[in-house]
Amino acid sequence: MQIAFWGVRGSFPVCQAQSLRYGGNTPCLEVDAGEAAILIDAGTGIRAAGRALAKRGVREIHLLLSHAHWDHIQGFPYFAPLHQPGTSVRIYSLRRPGTSLRAILADQQRNPFFPVALEELPAQLEFVELEEGQVVAIGDTRVYSRRLNHPSLTGGFRLERQGRSFAYLSDVDLYTKLLLGAGLQTPSAAERQQRLKELLAGACDLAHCADLAVCDTFFRPEDYEPSWGHSRPEDALRLARDTGVGQLVLFHHEPHRSDGELDELLAHYRRQAGGALELIAAAEGLALSL
C-alpha cells in the first residue's frame, strides 16, 4: 500500500516562508488502488492531487471524507477530475441526520460562492453515506469507519489490503473528559462518559495493530483547548502504544507552527517514544510504502 500526503495542515491553508517545508495545504491523502485512486479528505491539498490524477489518466476515484469542516472539503470545487467527462468520483462519509453528503458539497459551491454548481460538473458523482462500523470494499481494499470525538459529525477510517493496514484519525480529541459532536449530548454525566469511552474504543479499533496510523496532533500541551476537539502528540503516542501501531504520523499541524517548531516537536516526541515506535511528522510530498 502506497500513501501519499498532499495536504497536512489543520484549520486553514497557509503560505508562509516559515512553513514551506512541511507545507501549508489542508488535509488530503492518496492511497494507491491499481487503476483507480483512493483519496482521503478534500482540503486544499486535493487540488494538486487532482492535477496529478488527471495527468495519469485515472478515471475512477474514491474519496473518503472524514467530516465537513471547511479544511476537509474546501479543495473539492478545485478538484480537476470533477471537471473531466468520463471520470467517476464516488464520495463516502458517515451518514448524518438532517442533511445529505450531496447537499453539504452542493451548498459549498452554490451561487454566489462558486461559478460552477455541483449539478453542472461533468464527472459522474456518486454519494455513499456510511453507517458507523459499515465495511466497504474498494477493489481489494477494505475500508472501515468509526465515529470520532470531534465537533459536528466526524469519522475516522481504517484501510486494509493484503495484510497491511493504515488508520486515519483526523480530527479527534482522543483522551478528554469533554464529549463533542452533534447528537451525542445528554444531560447525564455518566452517559456522556460512557459515550466518550465508546468513541475511544472506536478509535482504538481503527488503530489496532495498524502498520501506520495518521493522527491529529494539532496542539502542543501548552496550547491545548479542550473544546476544539484536537489531540496532542502525547495522546497520539498513547493511542499508538495502547493499540500496537507500527508507525505513527503526526498530522493536521496547527497553521502557525513553523518548520523549525515541527522539527523540534518531532525530535522531542521521538525521544519520548524511545525507539519503540517509528514517529514521522506529515509533510506535503511525503510518500510511505507499507
Q: Decide: 3 and 158 in contact? Cβ < 8 Å.
A: no
Which range in 9-17, 33-41, 173-181, 262-270 contacts Zn ion by CB under 5 A? 9-17
Least spacing, CB of residue 167 vs Zn ion, in Å? 16
How many binding residues for Zn ion (CB under 5 A)?
Answer: 4
Q: Verify binding: residue 171, Zn ion, rule CB under 5 A.
A: yes
Q: Are 169 and 247 in contact (CB under 8 A)?
A: no
- Closer to Zn ion by Cβ: residue 148 or 196: 148
Kindly state whether residue 257 participates in binding Zn ion, applying the rule CB under 5 A: no
Residue whose Cβ sits closest to Zn ion: 69
String of DSSP letters for 27-71? PEEEEEETTEEEEE--STHHHHHHHHHHHHT--EEEEE-S--SHH
Residue 168 parent element (H or E):
strand 164-169
> Which residue in the set 59, 69, 147, 257 belongs to the binding site for Zn ion (CB under 5 A)?
69
* Residue 7 interacts with Zn ion (CB under 5 A): yes or no: no
Give CA torsion, residues 35, 130, 238, 188, to 10 deg. Answer: 170
Query: Which residue from 4, 5, 10, 143 is in contact with Zn ion, where contact means CB under 5 A?
Result: 10
In the bound complex, what is the minimum distance in angstroms from residue 71's beta carbon to Zn ion?
4
By CB under 5 A, residue 156 contacts Zn ion: no
| Residue 219: exposure state from Cβ atoms within 10 A (0-12, 13-18, ≥19) | buried
Site membership for Zn ion, residue 71 (CB under 5 A) = yes
Q: Rounded to an integer, what distance in angstroms lies between the CA atom of residue 59 and that of residue 230? A: 35
With respect to Zn ion, which residue has the nearer C-beta, 239 or 277?
239
